[in-house]
A = this chain, B = another copy of it.
């Protein structure tokens, strides 16, 4: 049966997006995103940071690589996906990622100098242009990702 698998994050990029071009010309970008939570433990302020593996495909990857950098604040919507892979010692490992479906840059305009403030979506039509609405359409999000 159908179900819902939705993730909503607001956090800062831990690194610049890393871009790869797969065989067949598909672009994939990925970066770590930090979401922090502050709470009080025994009278002391404690900050707990959670790191998320964000993956973006095709047009969305291209826009991300252009406009997102380490430190930027971003809203990301996507879905959870757990993949298995073999490390260098041929040991099977699992990693859970957030496959982004759209993102919106938050924070002050000056933080995104070259870009308009806008929402980027993985499922729309026009090609990205500077100073325009970025609307992207990836047709295949099921390719294998070699990392």
A9 — which chain B residues lie within 8 A by C-beta? 3-6
Q: Is the CB of A142 within 8 A of B5?
A: no
Q: Is the CB of A2 within 8 A of B124?
A: no
Chain copies in the assembled complex: 4
A79 — which chain B residues lie within 8 A by C-beta? 50
Question: Interface of chain A, helix or strand or loop or mixed?
Answer: strand
A137 to B139, CA, bound (A): 13
* CB 8 Å contact bits of A97-138 with B (1 = contact, 0 = none): 000000011111100000011110101111000011100010
* CB 8 Å contact bits of A31-56 with B (1 = contact, 0 = none): 00011111111000100101110000
A18 to chain B minimum Cβ distance, whole angstroms, is 19
A39 — which chain B residues lie within 8 A by C-beta? 133, 142
Closest to A1 in B: B117
A108 to B111, CA, bound (A): 11
Q: Is the CB of A40 within 8 A of B75?
A: no
Q: Is A11 on the interface with B (CB-CB < 8 A)? A: yes
Using A1-B36, A96-B82 as known contacts, say yes or no to A45 and B116 having CB atoms under 8 A apart: yes
Q: Is the CB of A35 within 8 A of B116?
A: no
